A and B are shown apart, each in its own frame.
Chain A
Amino acid sequence: GESVGLHLPTLSVQEGDNSIINCAYSNSASDYFIWYKQESGKGPQFIIDIRSNMDKRQGQRVTVLLNKTVKHLSLQIAATQPGDSAVYFCAEREPLVFGKGTRLSVIA
């Protein structure tokens, strides 16, 4: 079965607010995690990754947090914009195993 999964299937946020998308994993030996974004009609696109020796990693407007104690990671998007509307997947490697995804809707 899947070893990564997301807590909520949908998330709606107001434009300008921060978004938090959560993901749980079951394999304590997993050492690398990736977040992907998939817009409607397109293939998934890499956002950010994190290795298990890190707790936090920041990118442009995105931050990934990893809590190995409870096997949980989250993707935080600052100042959410309409262009952030998409389905977000967490994945572990290797090979990449995707969860079902969380659909983020941004309300203007």
Chain B
Amino acid sequence: EAGVAQSPRYKIIEKRQSVAFWCNPISGHATLYWYQQILGQGPKLLIQFQNNGVVDDSQLPKDRFSAERLKGVDSTLKIQPAKLEDSAVYLCASSSGTSRAGELFFGEGSRLTVL
């Protein structure tokens, strides 16, 4: 079974530039998550989708971050304009209704460096 795919793996941009990350969840997984993991910290939930609808985006900085999940499969996370404090690993995860309740399947992440 293929895992969660993310791209790009690494991205370096200057502040005020924009960046987009892509995620392809495990086939059949209805729930998709984006997490932000700053170095030395645990992942922090940014947004949760159920199919193509948003379940929770309470911690998404909506003035600069946006995410969409068209057709309920792939998802993109965009940051515009980026700030220095956005430097982090952006993790995508997915889960299905048949998974254990707390079992999310994570991708390897996209590491963003903002200079």
- Count of chain B residues with a beta carbon within 8 Å of a chain A beta carbon: 22
What residue in chain B is nearest A97 (Cβ atoms)?
B45
The binding surface of chain B is classed by DSSP as loop
The binding surface of chain A is classed by DSSP as loop
B64, chain A: closest CB distance, angstroms: 21
Q: Would you call A43 an interface residue if the criterion is a C-beta within 8 Å of the partner chain's C-beta atoms? A: yes
B96, chain A: closest CB distance, angstroms: 13
Docked CA distance A73–B102 (Å): 16
Docked CA distance A101–B43 (Å): 10
Size range of the chain A interface in the assembly = 20 to 34
Contacts of B102 in A (CB 8 A): 32-34, 46, 49, 91, 93-94, 96
Q: Would you call A89 an interface residue if the criterion is a C-beta within 8 Å of the partner chain's C-beta atoms? A: yes
Contacts of A96 in B (CB 8 A): 33, 43, 45, 102, 104
Q: Mark A15-43, 1 if CB is under 8 A from B, else 0.
A: 00000000000000000111000000111
Interface residues of B (CB under 8 A from A): 4, 33, 40-45, 48, 56, 91, 93, 100-109
